[in-house]
Amino acid sequence: MPTPFSEYVLYCDNHLLVVCKPAGMPSQRDRTGDPDLLTAGKGYLKEKFDKPGRVFLGLAHRLDRPASGVMVLARTSKAASRLGRQFLDRDVEKQYVALVEGSVVGQGTTEAGYLKKSERGVVAASRGEEGAQYAELDWEKVKETARGTIVNVRLKTGRKHQIRHQLARIGHPIVGDMRYGATREFDGRNLALHCYLLTIDHPTLGHAMSWQALPPLSWGSEREDFREWVDRGANPGEWGGM
């Protein structure tokens, strides 16, 4: 039986809808025609608020289909414009947890470089090369497990497949990411990659708001390992999501 969309909802007001996207669901309609987050969100709002006619809901950002995590959607055109500017100007905070292959050595390393899109996915590029975009992230080792290493990732730029490419480039592809060199699957065709924390400035209230959600239950013991690591540090708030 499909999961009710209401179980994905972390927050809702007149301007925002914040959800925890499940792995395997596209952020918006794609060529497969499979159920997508944007369409499902519109249906949820239409039913919840008994709205006649069409419902406005806009994407401010996206998560890759096989990944999961916190996403914010705009319920008004004003919110969509202001959120879009925040993401464009990198005035948001996004933190991810990933389970990667191998034993990771190092803490708090910054990975920076240039990426560009190609027929093979995202590849490394040189500064000044056509289509090249600067990409930067910080990562920190959380814990080694029987399946690999849990790492915390703070995204500084939001390039397509950035985390997937940059972790694979240092020899530690995300578990399940066969496109970028992983050797084993994870939860079917999904990835062990989850956006667990998102902080934005509310588009009309003006103050910062944060939401966090644990990885899916499919993560098994690594889910609790990560929860314990966060709770030992600066816990940003109550856990949401499934």
pLDDT tens, position by position, 158-209: 788 889 988 998 999 999 999 999 999 999 999 999 999 999 999 999 899 9
Residue matched to tokens 């994870």: 186
Q: What is the mean pLDDT of residues 99-118?
A: 81
Q: Does 9 score more than 90 pLDDT?
A: yes
pLDDT band at 133 (very low <50, low <70, confident <90, very high): confident
pLDDT band at 72 (very low <50, low <70, confident <90, very high): very high
Query: What backbone torsions phi and psi does residue 136 show, to the nearest 5 degrees?
Result: -145, 140
pTM: 0.90
Q: Does 239 score more than 70 pLDDT?
A: no
Structure tokens at 225: 């390992």
- Of all helices (H) and strands (E), which one includes residue 26? none
Secondary structure E strands in the chain: 9-12, 16-21, 58-59, 68-74, 93-100, 109-118, 121-125, 133-145, 148-155, 193-201, 208-212
Q: Which domains does the chain have, with CATH numbers?
A: 5-232 (3.30.2350.10)
Alpha-carbon distances of 88 from 37, 81, 117, 206, rounded to whole Å = 21, 11, 19, 17
pLDDT at 39: 97
* Percentage of the chain exceeding pLDDT 90: 71
pLDDT band at 81 (very low <50, low <70, confident <90, very high): very high
Of the CA atoms within 13 Å of residue 74, those in its CB half-sphere come to: 22
Q: Does 157 score more than 80 pLDDT?
A: yes
pLDDT at 117: 73
Structure tokens at 181: 């060199």
